[in-house]
Structure 1
Amino acid sequence: MLAQLLCKTGLNSLNLNTKLFVSLMLLLAMATQSTAVVAQTDRLTLIYVSEMTEMDSEEKGSYPKLASLLEHYRQINNHLVFISGGGGLAPSAMSSLDMGAHIIDLLNAIEPVAMVAGKREFSFGEDVLSLRTYEAAFPVISSNIFDPITQENLDGVNDSLLMTVDGVTIGLLALLPPIAHQEYNLQRVEIQSPVDALKQRANELRSAGADRVILTYSCCYRDYLNYFDELDQLLHDGLIDLALGKDEHLLLADHQLDQMHPAHIWITQGDEVAVVELTLEKDAPTFLMNWQTDSMNAYPADAQVQMLVDGYIQRLESLLNEVIADVKTEFATFQTDVRTAENPFGNLLADVIKAHADAEIALVNGGYIRGERQYQIGEQLARRDIMRELPFRDQVVLVEVSGEQLLLALENGFSQIEEIKGRFPHVSGMQVEYDRRKPVGKRVVSVRVAEQPLLPQQTYRLATRQFIATGGDGFDMFGDLEPLRYAGQSNRLIADILIDAIQQSQQIAPLNEGRLIDLSSP
């Protein structure tokens, strides 16, 4: 445990629950007792990890193994701070059922000093994130969220954190990328400029007595592309002393890595943590002493945390292992498969949504499909596979759109193919020719609905997911449309509707059918 650790919530946030208060008091008492038997050191060890969406995965990180890693470093240095960089509440098969509550439960067991509210924390909406914060025995932080209703941060989320370790006061800040507003269709909160918010919060922390200020990101470099150089400059200017982030997609070019401030730290692998050694000398010219990555996979699973994971897994087994169909065609759902071109599974999903709502056409975004796997002929498809493919809790929505609106939607879908963004469209009831070589906004060459050319002024009944119908992922041309009632409408999840459709045929045999034709391909 940390000796003499004192955590204070952000300057404008006074809504920590009783559970957090009690946990902090216990931490203080335990730390005081441990100082007599654990050697003191003039260094602080900081462990940073983020984007852990699975409970126990070799590729994406394991909470039982992370617990053992943390215990290892706590034995080396009793001055240890563990920060969860967020991005873990979704997507996963379990989160589609409990909306991320199990991740909070696992984090409570391994005691982070704080968790970042990243964009994935908004997968189930602002109110669900607020609920998760009150289940957490640690503060959840985002420094650039503003709720117009309360004129403060989102309920349960803190602007910042102050902690005192062996006489040194450290401030912690966390940024949410503005793209989260579009990608996760936030309905209420506003996301302030990262650079402006960071400057304001850092100065507030300095005024409150912070000797050092740490910035944490959740998710990847591309989300901060427009702000990266400015954030890096704030390290050079001394406004912040350390920045921590993650970039699993390796989008930082070599020259950018070379030009980064030495205290701007990125980890790039799902099983990695950053192990950062920081000085506790107030007058030291530099805060960062050294840092390295370490792999959770190098450690055995902690028995107590493994019991928690096993308990969750056992609850899922009987439901998720149910076989629903035989695989009759080969297809894949990796990111490049569902976010850059027509995809068999995307076609099947769009067809099922269209048929369910008795619509003329359907459109879903590739980012909704998250399975990241290859399916072979002869395999058996289980309920688990569909839950993994469609982990977000979403429902079918029917809207009436004009041909002009549909064209704008398709242009939006093809606008970020190069970045492998989740807005890439999968369609049913139409055929689209496009050219990715053309400028953004002019990539759609032709659209046919029911074998007829798209008419800009004609209206069409479009089935889609609620996320898109309310303007998510840049589909704001649909945001003001009133949903239509349809026969058989219910609140069932799209994943369940798809499972029913597959079970009825007892096989899954999706194909590419020339619905999306990229004219730039040979």
Structure 2
Amino acid sequence: MLGPDGKPFGGAIATLTRPVGELTVGLLGVVTPETAVLSSPGPAVTFAPVIDTAREAVASLKQAGADVIIALTHQSFAEDQALARAVPDIDVILGGHEHHPITWYEAGTLMHKSGYDAHYLGRIDLAMEKSMTDRGPKVTVVPGWRMIPNRGVTPDPAVAARVAQYMAKLDQELNQPVGKTATVLDSRRAMVRTQETTMGNLISDAIREALKADVALTNGGGIRGDRLYEAGTTLTRKDILRELPFGNVAVLVELSGADLLAALENGVSQVEHKAGRFPQVSGLRLVYDPGRPAGSRVVRVEIDGKPLERTARYRLATNDYLLKGGDGYASLGKGKVLIDAQAGPLLSTVVMNYIAAQGTVSPRIEGRIVTVK
């Protein structure tokens, strides 16, 4: 990740070495190039190819005397596997991105991921030995690992007290009821990234109504609560902000049916990877075939009960992140912006107001997104 000057962004350093006894450990970091569409880095930030960057970093570390090399990564498991195969001088890969714990060997490289939200602590112990051979010095690295669950671990008293202090202040503001749900609301990560959900329907219905749009689309990856709310649950401001924590703004764009279709194709293009771009929609019915190649999976789209027309114009309510091309939604930027991020309301506020106006909401699975085989 590089800034305008071609150097690591934000003053970061590309590599680091640390002495450990008589040996030197080298560290490097890489992040998936998809960060460009998974976040909003701005035009001044560029992403160099991961494997080429890693090779250059390893060469630099070797020149600096590194005996053992550890890569800190934030990319998919498959990308870490490719890195291990392509850059065999990396001894250990400590990765992120997946939300479940993984330990794996790939081409002689240990790969270790410790899940998310500190549910696990990963401990890696490296037994390192340097010896002389006919070809010169050789370092043997034998890694060992532990995956330690945090369940039952007593919190640090000082930290727990400080957390409780802040939570008490937040609860005063956020534990205010907004309304109730008469049906189960599902915001589980695996659901909102692969299929129609009641939480997705609630959010997309809210922004469609608020902005008086023909259709609405939001990304499942922006729904973060990862939980079930049972029927009869009283929803609070805290619940909605937990679901929509990013401060996204609801926006309105007029675009062609062809560009809307392209957006929906993008939305289902990585469903097998549970990518955050999966669409949660309102005002339309999407039928797609996940077995087809990405980019040609949409079988049928209906709006107001009629087939989508490529040349027709539709008013789409979405969020500012997607409008800027986030999660691969480049086609939304081709439309005419009617309400931009400066004029639009906060997405979380839109949802709170929608629930409060109804008192009790009852979103259901309606067949808005249908998978065919």
Q: TM-score, normalised by structure 1?
A: 0.64
For 2:351, the equivalent position in structure 1 comes to: 498
Structure 1 pair 313/352, CA: closer, same or farther in 2 (3 Å)? Answer: same
Residue identity over aligned pairs, in percent, reads: 32
Shift in Å at residue 406 of structure 1? 0.6
After superposition, the Cα gap between the structure-2 partners of 1:292 and 1:515, relative to the gap in structure 1 and judged at 3 Å, is closer
Q: What corresponds to 2:49 in structure 1? A: 193
Which of 299, 303, 310 is the equivalent residue of 2:164? 310
The amino acid that maps onto 2:205 is D
Q: Structure 1 stretches of 5 or more lacking a match?
A: 1-144
Partner residue in 1 for 2:92:
242
Describe how 1:321-336 pairs up with structure 2 within 5 A. 321-336=175-190
Rounded Cα–Cα distance in structure 1 between residues aligned with 2:346 and 2:130: 54
Q: Give the partner amino acid of 2:215.
A: I
Give the Å deviation of 1:281: 5.2
Q: 1:311 to 1:162 in 2, by over 3 A?
A: farther
Cα drift, residue 230 of structure 1: 4.0
1:206/1:259 Cα in 2 relative to 1: closer, same or farther (>3 Å)?
A: closer
Q: Counterparts of 1:345 and 1:290 in 2: how far apart (Å)? A: 42
Larger deviation, residues 266-275 vs 416-425: 266-275
The match for 2:65 is 209
Amino acid aligned to 1:181: A
SS for the counterpart of 1:190 is coil
TM-score, structure 2 as length reference: 0.88
> 1:274 is matched with which residue?
122
Q: Distance in 2 between matches of 1:337 and 1:364?
A: 14
Name the SS for the 1:439 alignment partner. Answer: coil
For 2:367, give the aligned amino acid: G
Cα deviations by residue, 1:376-395 (Å, 9 ceiling, x for unpaired): 12221111111111111210
What's the CA shift for 1:301? 1.2
Of 197, 205, 208, the match for 1:351:
205
Q: Which has the higher strand share?
A: 2
Partner of 1:20: none
Residues 470-508 of structure 1, C-alpha deviations (whole Å, 9 max, x = no match): 11111111235452238x974542112211221122222
Aligned to 1:78: none
Q: Which has the higher helix share?
A: 1
Kept in 1: contact 2:249–2:345 (CA 8 A): yes
Aligned mate of 2:310, from 427, 438, 456? 456
Aligned amino acid, residue 457 of structure 1: T
Q: How does 1:401-412 map to 2 (within 5 A)?
A: 401-412=255-266
Q: Is the 8 A contact 2:84 2:107 kept in 1?
A: no
**Structure 2 residues not aligned, in runs of 5+:** 132-137
Cα deviation for residue 279 of structure 1 reads: 4.3
Distance 1:304 1:371, change over 3 A: same
**Aligned match of 2:238:** 384
1:2-401 pair list within 5 angstroms? 145-147=1-3, 149-188=4-43, 189-218=45-74, 220-222=76-78, 224=79, 228-235=81-88, 239-246=89-96, 248=98, 257=104, 259-261=106-108, 263-268=110-115, 271-279=119-127, 282-283=130-131, 285-401=139-255
Q: What's the counterpart of residue 25 of structure 1? A: none
Aligned to 2:134: none
Shift of 1:170: 2.2
Contact 2:220–2:279 (CA under 8 A) maintained in structure 1:
yes
Once residues 172 and 285 of structure 1 are traced to their aligned partners in structure 2, the CA distance between those partners, rounded to angstroms, is 16
Work out the CA distance in 2 between the residues paired with 1:455 and 1:251: 45
